[in-house]
């Protein structure tokens, strides 16, 4: 691959494993710079677009939010600045990951305890797992968006 190589959106998609619709979305939310277009209005991507999309995909695979990713991308081109901004972003994200891991461990322990109390041989109507997961009578859990489920 040479530095002057150009890609169509389909070729970029194939090279990175990112769907075409996702590439367009990343352009729309400013995670990818808009590429130049041909006279026929087709997008033409460069090697720099390829590298940027690979970076974006890796960060998204690791769970970074769009805002964190924008901050990382902004800082990545500030080569003369100190890396404290990147350290701050990663430290905050690491704290989030560790909190989620702790939550998942608690959930796993609860599910293990419930499952161990159910031999799995009875009828669904008598299932202790379903009984343990049901909300208490008269209490309807609120949906996160304010509607009820």
User: DSSP secondary structure string, 79-140?
Assistant: TTS-THHHHHHHHHHHHHHHHHHHHHHHHHHHHHHHHHT--S-S-GGG-HHHHHHSPPTT-P
Give the pLDDT score at 146: 46
Q: pLDDT tens digits, residue range 65-113?
A: 999 999 999 888 887 888 888 888 889 999 999 999 999 998 888 888 8
pTM, entire model: 0.68
DSSP 35: P
User: Is the pLDDT score of 121 beyond 80?
Assistant: no
Question: What pLDDT band is residue 50 in, cutting at 50, 70 and 90?
Answer: very high
Mean pLDDT of 58-68: 92
Give the pLDDT score at 82: 83
Distance between the two ends of the chain, CA-based, in angstroms?
A: 52
Q: Chain centroid to CA 82: how far?
A: 27
């Amino acid at each position: 691959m040479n530095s002057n190589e150009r890609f169509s959106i389909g070729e970029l998609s194939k090279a990175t494993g990112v769907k075409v619709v996702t590439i367009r979305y990343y352009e729309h939310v400013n995670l990818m710079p808009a590429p130049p277009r041909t006279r026929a209005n087709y997008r033409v991507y460069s090697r720099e677009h390829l590298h940027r999309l690979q970076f974006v995909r890796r960060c998204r695979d690791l769970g970074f939010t769009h805002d964190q990713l924008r901050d990382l991308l902004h800082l990545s081109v500030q080569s003369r600045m100190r890396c404290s901004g990147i350290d701050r972003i990663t430290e905050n994200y690491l704290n989030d990951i560790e909190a989620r891991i702790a939550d998942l461990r608690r959930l796993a322990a609860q599910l293990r305890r419930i499952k161990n109390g159910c031999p799995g041989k009875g009828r669904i109507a008598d299932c202790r797992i379903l009984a343990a997961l049901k909300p208490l009578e008269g209490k309807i859990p609120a949906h996160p968006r304010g509607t009820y489920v």
